[in-house]
Homo-oligomer: A and B are copies of this chain.
């Protein structure tokens, strides 16, 4: 899926690399502000960041895809309506509270959007609201209205970094990817980091471009590219109620080549999708599963998802344990449960380039096992270590890299293939989601 496997000697080097990606396309400004408030539903104060992405001039050329969760958040309900509006002028994003199934949630989203529009000289329907965070709580509307002037006055045209930093929740670092097409740029940012098997998952992704691509084309391209990138990852098989991917063009640079634009969009989305997994809650190994020889892409995707969502296999990966029996279990469960008509005696499986299964039986020996362990250790992002109180959290300063556990499954049953990305299941995931209230 990804083209690169960068390796950074330090956090500082990673940060410098992010700053290089971050130049905004022409026609956009971003800004953010942070404030404390006390939720109605909780006894202690919380901190929220309000992020604005604003166009210099409202554009008709925007696209968005949203979660398929049947309990969509209020901003998703509002966002779906916005797709019918003639123009988009700004995106307003808050973290901490996702505004899902809270009484009066849609009204709260519209109230905050309208206030942002007033500050920016826009119509209320020209603002797309997005929220991520705790499900069930209501937005602190008064506090957000009070913070809007600071957010508006922080808008700046230099770098997308303030927005990439503003939208995160449990992410370990901001995520930015870009590609160039002629004189124009395609720049995307994303937040993860849990409840992610996009369909879409709270994943929020914003891709900005100054390349002039008309609205209908943007929407068709985004649907296709999102399906082949963000819909092929899973952190934990959960699907957020707030997932949103938006693509906005300021239209200031003529697009010389639509195919090149699609390739640039695909590259940015492919890399951002991998970033979301790599930065997923508790992820210490990224699993890249390539399923080939499938009768069709849908079958390949479903089998790849079954593998990256199999808890016992994910735990084995966390422990650098090449427990290939659990991989075969996951395949067999999926094929048995779905009644998929493939001849499993032809299946071949490799991990890290080592053949581990062929002709209906395992192909294992000590030397291969040692090579598999080495491959797993090489792909580990950081070592797991409990704090004094027994909880687990990632170290703040591990040097990032982009190596994956490479898993190849050849069904020898057709021409289709797909690559699915997932993560391991770790103490850090459990600590993040059980030891603390999110």
Contacts and interface: CB of A to CB of B under 8 A. Distances in A.
Interface of A: 41, 43, 67-72, 98, 100-103, 105, 134-136, 194-195, 197, 199, 236-241, 309-313, 315-316, 318-319, 321, 323-326, 328-337, 340, 344, 357, 360-362, 364-366, 385-386, 390, 392, 424-427, 429-438
A295 to B, nearest CB: 15
B103 A361 contact: yes
List the 3 closest pairs (A to B, CB-CB), nearest first.
Answer: A135-B325, A71-B332, A315-B433
Given A310-B238, A434-B319, A344 B70 contact: yes
Given A332-B241, A427-B427, A326 B386 contact: no
Contacts of A392: 427
27 contacts: A43-B366, A68-B337, A71-B331, A71-B344, A72-B332, A98-B325, A100-B325, A100-B328, A105-B361, A135-B325, A135-B329, A195-B329, A237-B309, A237-B310, A238-B330, A240-B329, A241-B328, A311-B311, A311-B433, A315-B429, A319-B433, A319-B436, A321-B434, A386-B390, A390-B390, A425-B434, A427-B434
A282 to B, nearest CB: 9
A286 to B, nearest CB: 16
Nearest to A340: B70
A237 B194 CA distance: 19
Contacts of A195: 312, 326, 329
Contacts of A328: 71, 100-101, 135-136, 241
Contact of A325 (B134, B194, B329, B337): B134
Most buried by B among A67, A70, A134, A432: A70
A416 to B, nearest CB: 19
Given A134-B325, A337-B68, A311 B236 contact: yes
Nearest to A237: B311
A411 to B, nearest CB: 12
Contacts of A199: 333, 336-337
A67 B336 contact: yes
A72 B328 CA distance: 10
Given A336-B239, A386-B386, A102 B361 contact: yes
Given A71-B331, A101-B325, 8 more contacts: A135-B324, A136-B328, A238-B311, A238-B330, A241-B332, A311-B429, A321-B437, A323-B437
A139 to B, nearest CB: 14
A311 B329 CA distance: 19
A333 B69 contact: yes
A312 B236 contact: yes
Nearest to A41: B364
A70 B434 contact: no
Most buried by B among A71, A326, A335, A360: A71
Contacts of A240: 329
Nearest to A366: B43
A136 B336 contact: no
A69 B336 contact: yes
A422 to B, nearest CB: 12
Contact of A136 (B43, B324, B332): B324
B425 A427 contact: no
Contact of A329 (B103, B241, B324, B337): B241
Nearest to A359: B103
A347 to B, nearest CB: 9
Given A68-B336, A430-B430, A101 B238 contact: no
